[in-house]
Amino acid sequence: MNPHTAARRNGVQGQQDAERLLGLQTATNELLDILVNNSAIEIKSCRTVVSDKSFGKGWRWGRFGFSGPQHVEMLELDGMYLFMLYGEGGFLIHAHMVSASTVEARSHIKPEGKTMWAWPRVLSRRPRISKKWRGSETTLLDLFGYGRISIE
């Protein structure tokens, strides 16, 4: 499958799952996915592992992509990123909300163009749904009281 097609599929799946979990409608073809009371939630999704023949192993970690103009807007609105990580079978294994300011503090997002991060840079390598990561974020499921998602 074309990498752009796979990324688009992951994005659509992330938006659909976020709508189901949050009970909020996402805005397709808009700069930001969800606007609520002058605040924003931007959904980022990726697979744990992606086939990639350009790497010696034939695979690489999945990546979250950040748009510079979108990130600037997220900072202005004190927005939250919702990171959704999917396993090989397309099952949601981790959902995590992180403030845009925390993302910026960890690593500067270029104000123009796109910045790509492998998911282990954004999340811990062994994500746990109920665990707080580095003490500065809350998991989506903890935040909204949905309980646990089993990790396959």
The verdict on residue 102 lying in a domain is: yes
Domain presence at residue 22: yes
In this predicted model, what pLDDT tens digit does every residue of 92-142 receive, in sequence order? Answer: 888 888 889 888 887 788 889 899 988 888 775 555 443 333 333 444 444
Q: What CATH number did the domain enclosing 72 receive?
A: 3.40.210
Structural domain that includes position 93? 3-144
Answer yes or no: is pLDDT of 22 > 70. yes
149 inside domain: no
Tell me if 78 is assigned to some domain: yes
The residues, any chain, with a CB within 8 Å of residue 142's CB and separated by 6 or more, are 129, 130
| pTM (2 d.p.) | 0.76
Of residues 17, 88, 85, 91, the one with CA closest to residue 46: 85
Query: pLDDT tens across 42-92, in order?
Result: 999 998 888 877 777 788 888 999 999 999 999 999 898 888 888 877 888
Give the pLDDT mean for 11-21.
85
- The tally of domains found in the chain comes to 1
> Residue 2: CB partners within 8 Å, gap ≥ 6?
none
